[in-house]
Structure 1
Amino acid sequence: MTTTELTLTTDTDAALTSFARRYRDAGNVGMQVLSVVGGQAENLLERLPDRVKDQLETATERALHVSLDAAGRTRGGRLPDGGKWLNTAVTTAMGAAGGFGGLPTALAELPVTTTVLLRAIQGIAESHGFNPTQQSVRADCIRVFAAAGPLAKDDGADLGFLAARVTLTGSAVHGLIARVTPRLATALGQKLAAQTVPIIGAVAGAATNFAFTTYYQEMAHIQFGLQRLSHDTGIPDDMLIEELRLRIEAMERR
């Protein structure tokens, strides 16, 4: 069965349209950040010192490893999930603090923000009926970070983070981190650069963290919402992803 032969129920069609809107709106937040920073996303990385750019992937991979364990531990304890707006408020405040002190504090803030983001993604997975302690779900939570960052121009052609899932062992999750890292490092590098903008570093830090938290929470809802939709309807993931892609591209053409 091809997507052109696929007959969708009214509810499934509405759900896919809703996911497409979330995808589009999440990316639009990044454009607001660029208006604050006053530059193009592709030029932000040039503002970082070479020594930082050279170590960015290593720092990002280390932050992901630390965050994966820390996020799981805090969710397993007495600290409840904060919800979308609380998570956004927390990271926005941390971004402001990180930007206030320039690059040193921005670098120190990076793993903390990554932990809050991953914890929020795990909570979203659970809200859609998935167990974030399972290795396959842990991998899907990491895979959300493979989506283009909010400062990247994305016309809907890149939905690779929704790729078909496989059963994973713990070591494979760490291998996935290594594959996701280059993409996330570029996005986080843009965030760091924005936080170092003279005078408005704190404002830019708050704005970028707001954009990142909003963006990745929306990507998580799309990721796990599609998985739940596939489970409930019996429609294969790849068909739903293609239907989603068509809706996103149609919105971009308007």
Structure 2
Amino acid sequence: MDDIVIVQPVDTDAELDRLARQYRAAGGVGVQLLNALGGKAEGLIDRLPVAVRTRLTDATEQALALAMRAAQTSRTAVPDQKEWVNTAVTTAMGAAGGFGGAPTALVELPVTTAMLLRSIQGVAAEHGFDPAAENVQFDCIRVFAAAGPLAQDDGADLGFVSLRLTLTGGAMQKLIATVAPRFAAVLGQKLAAQTVPVLGAVAGATANYVFTSYYQQIAHVHFGLRRLATDGNLSEAEVLARFTAHTKSLAS
């Protein structure tokens, strides 16, 4: 006689509350440290050279496209790492990038982006999704649409969950073009923090530590909501509406 597998029902409200708390806590103390090193977030980008500021969105779009290819290709050679390993690697890269100021920080930027994307793919796999699937690759890029750790995020901006594009030719390029301006603003703040005199290496390491921790947590929220919709037999729209309500109730 075959063994009977008993599937425990999903406590949707409890899981939504947990994910809402994780979303609001994603920044944490590290953001305060990063702001202390780099100054107020809204003024950081003004520190960058004009030439860097004017092409930041284009550079970010290119970095995202290259990062997706690099992250996906690396999965065949290097297994997913524990999150603390990803954080340690990007922290070291941030220190190296910040050591030489803006020039080395610009070189480090696409490499860090690829590492961030690879760690997001690892989170997707942890939640039972196939990172090679096109819709999962879309979701990995969509995570970058979330407000970054230097943004003034009150927890109400949930657009990263509800962004929609049809899976047609050129859709990935369209998605990257949509996400790039938002992510560029975040990366610009990171670059500016790395140009702080003397503290460039420290700021670079701190920035990458915070960024990696932040986007890994946001990825857990994103794919946790997708898994909840599947396990709870709920539409994504319903899950999003209930998640929004839970998040706003924590802010009140």
Alignment TM class, shorter chain as reference: over 0.9
> Distance in 2 between the 1:130 and 1:57 partners?
30
For residue 177 of structure 1, give the secondary structure of its aligned residue in structure 2. helix
> Distance in 1 between the 2:10 and 2:55 partners?
49
> Distance in 1 between the 2:122 and 2:35 partners?
29
The TM-score normalised by the length of structure 2 is 0.92
1:136 and 1:166 in contact (8 A); partners too: no
The TM-score normalised by the length of structure 1 is 0.92
Q: Name the residue aligned to 2:198.
A: 199
- The Cα of 1:240 is off from its aligned counterpart by 1.6
Q: Name the residue aligned to 2:137.
A: 138
Q: Name the residue aligned to 2:33.
A: 32
Q: Name the residue aligned to 1:6.
A: none
> Distance in 1 between the 2:14 and 2:165 partners?
28
> Distance in 1 between the 2:10 and 2:144 partners?
31
> Distance in 1 between the 2:191 and 2:160 partners?
23
> Distance in 2 between the 1:164 and 1:32 partners?
31
Q: Structure 1: any 5+ residue segments left out of the alignment?
A: 1-8
Q: Name the residue aligned to 1:244.
A: 243
Is 1:126 aligned to 2:125, yes or no?
Answer: yes
Write the mapping of 1:205-244 to structure 2, written as runs, cut at 5 A.
205-244=204-243
Write the mapping of 1:80-95 to structure 2, written as runs, cut at 5 A.
80-95=79-94
- Number of aligned pairs? 243
Is 1:152 aligned to 2:139, yes or no?
Answer: no
1:144 and 1:220 in contact (8 A); partners too: yes
- The Cα of 1:169 is off from its aligned counterpart by 3.7
For residue 81 of structure 1, give the secondary structure of its aligned residue in structure 2. coil
Q: 1:238 to 1:32 in 2, by over 3 A?
A: farther
Write the mapping of 1:38-49 to structure 2, written as runs, cut at 5 A.
39-49=39-49
- The Cα of 1:95 is off from its aligned counterpart by 0.5
For residue 147 of structure 2, give the secondary structure of its aligned residue in structure 1. coil
> Distance in 2 between the 1:202 and 1:250 partners?
39
Q: Structure 2: any 5+ residue segments left out of the alignment?
A: 1-8
Q: Name the residue aligned to 1:18.
A: 18
Identify the range of structure 1 (101-110 vs 149-158) with the bigger mean alpha-carbon deviation.
149-158
Q: 1:208 to 1:116 in 2, by over 3 A?
A: same
> Distance in 1 between the 2:35 and 2:41 partners?
7
- The Cα of 1:56 is off from its aligned counterpart by 0.5
Q: 1:142 to 1:10 in 2, by over 3 A?
A: closer
Supply the AA of the counterpart residue of 1:100. Answer: F
1:95 and 1:209 in contact (8 A); partners too: yes
Q: Name the residue aligned to 1:5.
A: none
> Distance in 1 between the 2:32 and 2:251 partners?
15
> Distance in 2 between the 1:127 and 1:101 partners?
36
> Distance in 2 between the 1:59 and 1:165 partners?
24
> Distance in 1 between the 2:141 and 2:122 partners?
13
- The Cα of 1:10 is off from its aligned counterpart by 7.2
- The Cα of 1:61 is off from its aligned counterpart by 0.7
1:56 and 1:189 in contact (8 A); partners too: yes
2:10 and 2:232 in contact (8 A); partners too: no
Aligned-residue CA RMSD in angstroms?
Answer: 1.5
Q: Name the residue aligned to 2:67.
A: 67
Q: Name the residue aligned to 1:54.
A: 54
For residue 76 of structure 1, give the secondary structure of its aligned residue in structure 2. coil
Identify the range of structure 1 (180-189 vs 240-249) with the bigger mean alpha-carbon deviation.
240-249
What whole-Å deviation, never above 9, does each CA across 1:190-221 have from its counterpart, x for those lacking one?
A: 00000000111111111111111011111111
Structure number having the greater helix percentage = 1
